[in-house]
Structure formats: C-alpha cells, structure tokens
C-alpha cells in the first residue's frame, strides 16, 4: 500500500486551508488500515487478548481523551493551544502509567 497519495492529499488540504479534509483523510486511513489489518490477521489466526486489564486501561484512556477532545472542539469549533497541551499531557500520563 502506497502512503504517498494520502500524504500529498493531506499536505494539499492544509495548503488550501481545509482542515476538515485533512482530519477526515487522517481518521479514515487510520480506521480503514487498522480494521483491515486486524480483520485479515484474525481470519488467518484468531487473536486472544491476554492482558485484559491493560486493554481496559487503554480503552478507558482512549474514551476519556476522545470525550475531552470532543468537548473542546464542540464548544468553539477549534482547538486552542492550551487545550492541545492538556490533551498531550493526559496522553503522556497514560503512556507513563502503561509502562510502569
């Protein structure tokens, strides 16, 4: 799979001041690629989740970060720098907790 067309489209949409196209392309490619890879992999060999508590922590962190992001963006239809910093800080906290 060649990522070059998606990369060019992303840069072009940012040049044309179309951030919604950029985020749509980014999320669409992430969702499509991850579900395709997981689907094909699980068809070849079923996936077992061994560390259920780690998976639950990661899922909870994703939901919390997404809800905070959605609240920030929904309120003003843009993300301020301090909001982005807060989201990064929450994510870094999650990463530290995961590796302890």
Tell whether 59 and 97 lie within a shared domain.
yes
Neighbours of 13 (CB within 10 A): 18
Under DSSP, is residue 46 helix (H, G, I), strand (E, B) or coil?
coil
What is the per-residue pLDDT for 97? 85
Tell whether 29 and 65 lie within a shared domain.
no
Tell whether 7 and 18 lie within a shared domain.
yes
pTM of the entire predicted model: 0.55
Tell whether 32 and 71 lie within a shared domain.
no
The model's pLDDT over 42-93, given as tens digits with 9 standing for 90+, comes to 899 988 878 888 888 888 989 999 899 888 888 787 888 999 999 999 999 9
Q: Please state the domain count of the chain.
A: 2
Tell whether 1 and 31 lie within a shared domain.
yes
pLDDT tier at 32, thresholds 50, 70, 90 = confident
Q: Which domain holds residue 6?
A: 1-47
Tell whether 59 and 100 lie within a shared domain.
yes
């Amino acid at each position: 799979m060649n990522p070059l067309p998606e990369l060019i489209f992303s840069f072009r949409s940012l040049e044309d001041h179309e951030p919604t196209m950029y985020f749509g392309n980014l999320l669409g490619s992430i969702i499509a690629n991850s579900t395709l890879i997981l689907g094909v992999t699980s068809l070849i060999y079923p996936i077992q989740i061994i560390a259920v508590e780690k998976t639950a922590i990661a899922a909870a962190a994703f939901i919390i970060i997404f809800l905070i992001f959605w609240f920030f963006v929904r309120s003003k239809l843009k993300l301020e720098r301090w909001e982005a910093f807060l989201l990064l800080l929450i994510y870094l906290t999650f990463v530290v907790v995961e590796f302890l």
